[in-house]
Chain A
Amino acid sequence: MLLFYILTQISVAPLNIVIPPNVISNIIIPPSEVTAYDNSNDGGDRINVEWSLSPDDSLISGYEIWRSEVKDSGYYKVGYIGRTNTHYQDIAEVKEGVQYYYEVRCRTSKYEYSEFTAPSEAATSSSQWYNTYKTNVLIGLIIFSFVVLFAIFQARKGKTLFIRKINGLDALDEAVGRATEMGRPVLYVPGLGSIGDIATIAAINILSQVAKKTAEYNTPILVPNCDPIVMSVTQEVVKEAYLEKGRPEGYNPDNIFYLVGSQFPYAAGVGGIMMREKPATNLFMGTFMAEALILAETGNISGAVQIAGTDAVTQLPFFITSCDYTIMGEELYAASAYLSQEPMLVSSIKGQDYNKLILIFFLILGSILGLINNDFILNWFHN
């Protein structure tokens, strides 16, 4: 019973309430004019607190922010911010609809304190149903979607659309053909990304096209995965590709496997496969990090033809140096459209290009306005 009583008391006691220490320095003048107000465009869980700097700001280390639900008592510390700051955003379990009062005081490096300021007026937090800061994103999204859908609509009407040559994707056929001639497998590395990464989805789309070619040529394809969900999807994609080409017996589920979930063990494992199985073609598509160069250089040593595609800008130079072809950034996303030549997909790339044109227009306009000290475009994109 006693233990139960103690536990009950502990669990109901507000742990963050601290009694103010008494080491008050009369020399330090507290800040003034504390105001508190609801933070806009949030879920009702933030309150902004502002004050005027203490005249002794240079002598102190910072300001402590205290909060209470009653104006005259029950204050407890909710935050601390360094000197020269006059604004603090309270995110310490702020409840929507509850009135909060704030006091601020100075703290020195020796833990001496000034007196508290007078309490602020009550501030109440509330939720909003629309984030006005994201209006520019919303307008951008509407324009972008409209342009892409317009391009798709044009394709439906039968308009032929031109798409520029992408050497890396053209070389896929040749690379798979080489593996077939040499009687060696194709190694397809979908990178470290999860299924939530767009680059991984793009890599899976390319895998679908590559698997159709390996099925056609009866060439084994090895797909070591770093993520179990990606593995399930890649297995399904390869299986369906073999079925579509009428070669279900050629599909070997053991060739699409989960290797390991960590970055460098994955690189070591894939490197081992390259050196032991000696695939004739290595395809690196998806999200890559520091392991990119380890993989590409090991593949280079093994003498394989290598094609890489990633949206990781920092890894692109490594792939460019170590691989025969590199599919850069947006080309990776365009790959499935390019390889399938399906009008609906090709038209979406066209829509993407129109959007790029709009952005280039704003870039030029923003640069010109910037030169005459007008930041309108800059601010519009920034906020």
Chain B
Amino acid sequence: MRKSIPLRICLVSGIVMIIQFFIPHRYSQTVYNYTLDWLIVSGIFAIVIGLHSNFHLHITRIVRKRKGWGYNVVTMAATLSMAFIGIAFGIGADSLFMKIYRNIEVPMDATMFSLLGFFMASAAFRAFRAKTKEATVLLIVALIIMIGRVPLGYFLWHRFPELVEWIMMYPNMAAQRGIGLGIGLGMAAMELKIILGIERGWLGGAGD
């Protein structure tokens, strides 16, 4: 039962969704929309499971005073206070909740995003060390692209931007499409294996 029921559900719903893809009729659209609604509903239930896991993790660490438990206190305090403020005072455009969101969470998000700039510099330094032939080619191409994408490139040689466009549109695009083609086929094969019950890793041990 533990093996067969999920596999049968997967087989039937997989085939139904494939057939649905080719049928534009409104009945077919209704089935599709219902499926999306079910996904949303199951997602809401899953949030409860996620919150339980999150609270359990942080509270356990606080109670057992594990290394760095102060961070867990901050996380729990922030989570609970945001929930309280949202429930008590609402989440309208000018609410306290939104003010905290705009003035604390958004800047923190932006800070994390801005770290990318520094990490890119350090990663690029490592990647562009011309230790091998491939790395040297990468270094030269990267230099051409970087120079050609700024006004300096045009100043040095007026056809620099054209060269950059050519590199991006042909060798670069060819490589990306090659990878994309493999990904597309891989995804389709994976879906087929899951629908037919050949690939069962996602079921845990139930599929064995």
Q: How far is the CA of A148 from the CA of B63 in the complex (A)?
A: 54
Q: Given A43-B26, A127-B25, A130-B22, are A329 and B119 also a contact pair (CB < 8 Å)?
A: no
B54 touches A201 (CB 8 A): no
Min distance, Cβ A153 to any Cβ of chain B, angstroms: 12
Encode contact with A along B181-208: 1 for CB under 8 Å, 0 otherwise.
1110111111111100011011011101
Please give me the residue from chain B that is nearest to A262 by CB atom.
B109
Q: Given A43-B28, A257-B57, A329-B179, are A204 and B186 also a contact pair (CB < 8 Å)?
A: no
Interface of A is mostly: helix
Min distance, Cβ A227 to any Cβ of chain B, angstroms: 8
> Contacts of B199 on A, CB cut-off 8 Å?
205, 336, 345, 348
A166 within 8 A of B: no
A244 within 8 A of B: yes
Please give me the residue from chain A that is nearest to B120 by CB atom.
A293
A322 touches B67 (CB 8 A): no
Q: How far is the CA of A344 from the CA of B196 in the complex (A)?
A: 12
> Contacts of A356 on B, CB cut-off 8 Å?
181-182, 185
B201 touches A208 (CB 8 A): yes
Q: Given A130-B22, A204-B201, are A144 and B188 also a contact pair (CB < 8 Å)?
A: yes
Encode contact with A along B24-60: 1 for CB under 8 Å, 0 otherwise.
1111110000000001001100111111011011001
Q: How far is the CA of A264 from the CA of B114 in the complex (A)?
A: 11
> Contacts of A348 on B, CB cut-off 8 Å?
189, 192-193, 198-199
B26 touches A45 (CB 8 A): yes
Q: Given A128-B25, A131-B22, A201-B190, are A236 and B53 also a contact pair (CB < 8 Å)?
A: no
A290 touches B113 (CB 8 A): yes
> Contacts of A45 on B, CB cut-off 8 Å?
26
Q: Given A43-B25, A43-B26, A321-B127, are A237 and B204 also a contact pair (CB < 8 Å)?
A: yes
Q: How far is the CA of A261 from the CA of B48 in the complex (A)?
A: 13
A-B contacts at CB below 8 angstroms, number: 197
> Contacts of B206 on A, CB cut-off 8 Å?
236, 240
Q: How far is the CA of A45 from the CA of B33 in the complex (A)?
A: 15
B189 touches A268 (CB 8 A): no
B179 touches A313 (CB 8 A): yes
A72 within 8 A of B: no
Which B residues between 73 and 114 are near A, CB-CB below 8 angstroms?
108-109, 112-113
19 contacts between A and B (CB under 8 A): A45-B26, A127-B25, A127-B27, A137-B21, A141-B188, A152-B198, A228-B50, A229-B46, A240-B206, A243-B205, A254-B60, A267-B112, A293-B116, A313-B180, A321-B126, A329-B183, A348-B198, A351-B189, A352-B186
Name A's B-contacting residues (CB within 8 A). 41-45, 96, 127-131, 134, 137-138, 141, 144-145, 148, 152, 196, 198, 201-202, 204-205, 208-209, 225, 227-229, 231-233, 236-237, 239-241, 243-244, 254, 257-262, 264-265, 267-268, 272, 276, 290-291, 293-294, 296-297, 311, 313, 316-318, 320-322, 328-330, 332-334, 336, 340, 344-345, 348-349, 351-352, 355-356, 359
Question: 7 extra interchain contacts, Cβ-Cβ under 8 A, other than A205-B202, A348-B193?
Answer: A196-B39, A198-B190, A209-B201, A231-B49, A257-B57, A276-B68, A348-B192
Name B's A-contacting residues (CB within 8 A). 18, 21-29, 39, 42-43, 46-51, 53-54, 56-57, 60, 67-68, 71, 108-109, 112-113, 115-116, 119-120, 122-124, 126-127, 176, 179-183, 185-194, 198-199, 201-202, 204-206, 208
